Structure 1
Amino acid sequence: MRVTRLLAAIAATAITLVASPGLAETVTVTDVTGRTVKVETPVERVILGEGRQIYFVAALDREAPFKRVVGWRDDLAKADPETYAAYLEKYPEIAKLPTFGGMKDGTFDVEQAVSLKPDVILMNVDAKTATEEAGYIQTLEKVGIPLVYVDFREKPMVNTEPSMRLIGKLFGKEEVAEDFIKFRKQSIAAVTDVLDREKPKRPLVFMERAGGYSDDCCMSFGDENFGKMVEIAGGINMAKDIIPGTFGTVNPEQIIASNPDQVIITGGNWEGYVPGGDWVGVGYGADVALARKKLEALTKRPAFTGIKAVKNGQVHAIWHQFYNNPYQFVAIQEMAKWLHPDLFRDLDPEATFKELHARFLPLDYKPGYFVSLTDGE
């Protein structure tokens, strides 16, 4: 029965596509996996394979960030509730947007996706295996619905620029995409130029992923994502040679033995996932006093027993969602200030983030993305 309904939806969509000549230009684009895909641009109807893709959609469609979105995954409200609430307040119509489950957990409804007649589906590269195993690409190709992969998570320091250029091309916003990429490069250079010139001693940094999200310790990053950001910011990623991929786990005894100079923990408001959890709730407009209190509590865990970072108060928390959007350059600047406060005394990551909002985003900036045990010293 489900197959019959899906075929009917495919047929209906095919008729619609044939009957609507449109004025779009068919172009061939290359996504971050190297796939070449034909798409009619500029696209007008888009399905977001993850709700957090609004981070980059909004940067390109600032005036009306949801004008192309006909459906999206249901993760934003739980993963980043403050940002979702801010968008909901400004654009109340998003409450009625059709939502989807995820590809990886098998809850994405391809039948529903076909019925929405999108011009393109944007999918994160981490869902590629599940997408292919389910045969969704072939199913969608039958009705001329292209799917392209972007990546701000698995290898963001490699794939952010091509992902932004790809979406800029699809949206007809190439100039905006290039302006964003230029701003990103300049913001990172404000760190790397100084490090290249001064060549300071690099502190050993343990980067903990989602500390306090569960009782287990400790998730971390290999030589990508926040692990790579630490290196760009002037540190040595403790887990670089321990975790072979982007994400993995470090044994608590290894942390004690490595004795890192600094610890940076990613956090967010995960009340929707782990009610009352020990996570550090940094993010859009967060209560930084409460976040600092929770950050300090995490230093009492056995994995941090006696390490230099705790003894010297060099423990910090940063917004987890920097790991999955094109704003990583703000995180790099903030980490550089923590790792080399004297070198970057005049660097202002808050001002960089404010400028990002003023130039590219539809929301007003609200602080709360960073907290440190050194705050107020």
Structure 2
Amino acid sequence: MSLFLRGLAAAALSLAVALPAPAHEHIKLTDLDGRNVTLHGLPEKVALGFYYEDYLAVAGAEGAAKLVSLSRAPWADWRPGQWAAYGAVFPALETLPDFGNADDNSFSVEALIASQPDVAILASWQTAAIGEAGVNQIKDAGIAVVAIDYNAQTLERHLLSTRILGAVTGQPERAEHLAALYEAKTKDTLERIAKAGPSGKKIYVELAQKGPAEVGNTYGKGMWAGVIDLVGGQNIAAGQIANWGPLSPEYVIAAQPDVIVLAGSEWRNKPEAVLLGFGETDAAAQPKLAAYAARPGWEALPAVQARAVYGIYHGGNRTLSDFVYARTIAKALYPEAFADVDPAAELRAYYQDWLPVVPDGTFVTKLQ
């Protein structure tokens, strides 16, 4: 059985534990940490740690009204354009209590408890950061802790996380539609690749945050490396970088990548970065992509010669809409197989169907 089909089977078997009950009944589920959780009725007050867009896609506008606190920095600081777009629709976000950021050890269990939620929905990387002691402290205050995990980049955990969000928010039908969409797009991507056969193309991804004068991180495992693995590209960082870190300029040139992907975001305090995402324009992104392509020694790289240099939104990976970015990279590797696929149009359709904001900005682009 293929990895994809095993993921489908595991997700189907686990679905029963994630289905919600009426508000007056207990909801029992197994979260993505493997923790058995019982909710005493449908939660009305939610502390949200991460996966903000995914939560809102499943919960709908009603889910925003249930929020009583946030881990604010990973949204407002990491994705300021995205934060501003949602703040325009939900002004109350700006005044929600902030319980800190597990990524920089400022996470405050006490602040989360003080917001008096019925449930804390946290990423598995956040529960790992605060440890069992932190999780138990929250639980001892009478607050259920539910861990979800899109960071794992597996079909199974994407689907289970979505269905668990459906259970906790009382939106099982939305969750099922979203899970089916993600499943179908992933299946279509893999079927096109299987039909096309190996591309044989080498690919290099760089976090384009520091500008071309300084080498940014690439990924040997997880994050964009996980996407490359999914779509069958030859990642030049594989075996060179354990998780993330920079490759030497000499190694990149020697590897002669056929495709280069520059991951950009809304880093407005980093003037040399490739800026992509909400509020960002292709007109501004093109000179930044060109500056990277003009690095010493890059002019002769196959990717630069073919103008196969792409910009991709760093904040879009490891989400319910990340099938768009997988298809962007797949199209770069197998252009004929994905000739009829327009990732930017698919992203717009996703937002139109599932989210309350319009994705005004550039999220995927190619060097002209």
> TM-score category by the smaller chain?
0.7 to 0.9
* Residue number in structure 1 paired with 2:317: 323
> Alignment length, in residue pairs?
346
Give CA-to-partner distance per residue, 1:58-93, whole Å, 9 cap, x none. 101223341111111122222222221111112222
**1:15 aligned partner:** none
Larger Rg: 1
RMSD value, Cα: 2.4
Q: Does 1:353 align with 2:347?
A: yes
Matches within 5 A, 1:151-230: 151-155=149-153, 157-212=155-210, 216-230=214-228
| Alpha-carbon contact 1:56-1:326 (below 8 Å) kept | yes
| 1:261 and 2:255 matched | no
Which residue number corresponds to residue 46 of structure 1?
46
Q: Percent identity?
A: 26
Residue identity opposite 1:299 in structure 2? A
CA gap 1:54/1:260 in 2 versus in 1, 3 angstroms: same
The answer to whether structure 1 residue 111 and structure 2 residue 135 are counterparts is no
Supply the AA of the counterpart residue of 1:179.
H
Asked if the contact 2:324–2:343 (Cα under 8 Å) also holds between the matched residues in 1, the reply is yes
Contact kept, 8 Å, 1:234 with 1:340, in 2: the verdict is no
Instruction: Specify whether residues 249 and 303 from structure 1 end up closer, same or farther in structure 2 by C-alpha distance, changes over 3 A only.
Output: farther
- The whole-number CA distance in structure 1 between the counterparts of 2:327 and 2:111 is 42
Task: Decide which moves more: 326-335 or 209-218.
Answer: 209-218
* 1:291 paired to 2:290: no
**Structure 1 position 290, deviation (Å):** 0.7
Distance 1:35 1:334 in 2: 35
**Cα distance in structure 2, aligned partners of 1:336 and 1:324:** 16
- One-letter identity of the residue aligned with 2:85: A
Using the TM superposition, give the Cα deviation of residue 308 of structure 1 relative to its aligned residue in structure 2, in angstroms: 2.1
Partner of 2:65, secondary structure, is: coil
Counterpart amino acid of residue 346 in structure 2: T
Partner of 2:363: 369
Could you tell me whether the CA contact under 8 Å between 2:344 and 2:364 is conserved in 1? Answer: no
- 1:252 lines up with 2:249 in the alignment: yes
TM-score (ref. length: structure 2): 0.86
Partner SS, residue 149 of structure 1? strand
> 2-side partners of 1:117 and 1:213: how far apart?
43
Shift in Å at residue 154 of structure 1?
4.1
Which has the higher mean CA deviation after the structures are superposed, 135-144 or 300-309? 300-309
1:68 aligns with 2:66: yes
SS in 2 for 1:242: coil
Q: Give the direction of change, closer, same or farther, for the CA distance of 1:157–1:294 in structure 2 (3 Å limit).
A: farther
Cα distance change, pair 41–350 in 1 and its aligned pair in 2 (3 A)? farther
Q: What amino acid is aligned across from residue 76 of structure 2 in structure 1?
A: A
Residues of 2 paired with 1:211 and 1:111: CA distance?
A: 34
The residue that corresponds to 1:19 in the other structure is none
Displacement of 1:203 in angstroms is: 1.0
Query: Structure 1 residues 276-285 or 231-240, which shifts more?
Result: 231-240
The CA deviation at 1:368 is 0.9
Distance 1:276 1:210 in 2: 10
SS at 2:310 equivalent: strand
TM-score (ref. length: structure 1): 0.84
Is the 2:348–2:359 Cα contact (8 Å) retained in structure 1? yes
> Contact 1:41–1:172 at 8 Å: present in 2 too?
no
2:25 corresponds in structure 1 to 25
Instruction: Structure 2: give runs of 5+ residues left out of the alignment.
Output: 1-21
Offset, 1:234:
4.4
Q: Which residue is 1:3 aligned to?
A: none
Q: Which residue of 2 aligns with 1:101?
A: 100
Q: Distance in 1 between matches of 2:263 and 2:340?
A: 24
Residue 59 of structure 2 contacts residue 170 of structure 2 at CA under 8 Å; is this kept in 1? no
In structure 2, how many angstroms separate the alpha carbons of the residues matched to 1:226 and 1:94? 30
Cα drift, residue 119 of structure 1: 1.3
Task: Please state how far the C-alpha of 1:260 moved relative to its aligned partner.
Answer: 0.9
Deviation track 1:90-146 (CA, whole Å, cap 9, x = no partner) reads: 22222211123212422122222112111111222222332117x211211212212
